[in-house]
Amino acid sequence: MIERGTSTAPVDPPAGTPAKPVTTGTTRRKSVGFLGSSNGRKAVMAVTGAVLVLFLVGHMTGNLKAFFGAASFNEYANFLRTMGEPLLPYRVALTLVEVVLGACIVLHMWSAVSLARRAGKARPVKYAAKRKSQAGGYAVHTMRYGGVVILLFVIYHLLDLTFGTVNPAGWDGTPYERLVAGFAPERWWVTLFYAVAVVMVGLHLRHGLWSAFQTLGLASGRSYRPLKGAAAAISAVLVLGFLVVPVAVMSGVIK
């Protein structure tokens, strides 16, 4: 596999010059090994992305417990804290999950930023013609700025529903009380913020899934359209599944 920005094309040396590898372009390969290669970083991005998608599917499904009442939702929240007991002490398994999730977020961002930098260095001169390309327009904006909005959302979200710092029910409330207080009708702007963030998550996911299908070489020929549709459908289900709970609380269906 040829690295972008590093030409391995053979060049004839002038007569008498000792033969040595020729590197043209603006980037030199500084790091070696799998993680230093673009393919290695794409793999890191794909694996961490997959872990985060699995978390989102589980989280979205768990949230729907809110429709079964306070006892059901709190029981689920309690299960998260007590899973692994008695083998593991209280909340240890959940803390491990949180550490893995945190590491996945950091590694996912690191691989995205380093790959984008590498691509930028490989083409320091912009294309003369403005192309509506995946690499230069919509996708970059959704992934880059969407990623930042999602990160800010997750920070607010943890302060809101996990720690209760910015939630009217506070730390002392049960998870269900925090949920109902957080999305109360008079706090419609919280639901609006969540809606924007969740749509960003959906767009991010749609593009991420589609890129992963392409990287894996699955999206060609006949499978192109169905896989593009699958990426959009999975993302849409996730967005709707996440949105239905805050909207139900705001409109008084869950109280």
When asked if residue 213 is in the footprint of ligand HEM (CB under 6 A), the reply is no
Helix, strand, coil percentages for the chain (3-state, nearest 5) = 65, 0, 35
* Helices 224-250/38-63 angle, 10° precision: 40
Say which residues have a Cβ less than 8 Å from residue 37's Cβ, sequence separation at least 6. 1, 3
When asked if residue 198 is in the footprint of ligand HEM (CB under 6 A), the reply is yes
Indicate the residue whose CB is closest to ligand HEM: 77
CB atoms within 10 A of CB 228: 16
When asked if residue 242 is in the footprint of ligand HEM (CB under 6 A), the reply is yes
Say which residues have a Cβ less than 8 Å from residue 27's Cβ, sequence separation at least 6. 5, 6, 118, 121, 122
Tell me which amino acid residue 228 is: K
In the region spanning residues 153 to 172, those forming contacts with ligand HEM, defined by CB under 6 A, are 154, 157-158, 161-162
When asked if residue 49 is in the footprint of ligand HEM (CB under 6 A), the reply is no
In the region spanning residues 50 to 69, those forming contacts with ligand HEM, defined by CB under 6 A, are 59, 63
The answer to whether the bond into 226 is cis (omega within 30° of 0) is: no
CB of 34 to ligand HEM, least distance (A): 28
Q: Exposed (0-12), middle (13-18) or buried (19+): which is 47, by Cβ within 10 Å?
A: middle
- The one among 43, 57, 80, 119 contacting ligand HEM by CB under 6 A: 80
When asked if residue 180 is in the footprint of ligand HEM (CB under 6 A), the reply is no
Q: Taking contact as CB under 6 A, which single stretch among the options 23-31, 85-93, 110-118, 152-160 is the one that binds ligand HEM?
A: 152-160
Tokens for 64, please give them: 């729907």
When asked if residue 77 is in the footprint of ligand HEM (CB under 6 A), the reply is yes
When asked if residue 245 is in the footprint of ligand HEM (CB under 6 A), the reply is yes
In the region spanning residues 5 to 44, those forming contacts with ligand HEM, defined by CB under 6 A, are none
When asked if residue 246 is in the footprint of ligand HEM (CB under 6 A), the reply is yes
> Which residue, 194 or 210, is less far from ligand HEM as judged by CB?
194
When asked if residue 202 is in the footprint of ligand HEM (CB under 6 A), the reply is no
3-state secondary structure of 45: helix
Cα dihedral 63, 64, 70, 74 sign: negative
Tokens for 69, please give them: 């009442």
> Which residue, 38 or 176, is less far from ligand HEM as judged by CB?
176
Which residues of the chain form contacts with ligand HEM (CB under 6 A)?
Answer: 59, 63, 77, 80, 94, 98, 101, 150, 154, 157-158, 161-162, 175, 179, 194, 198, 201, 242, 245-246
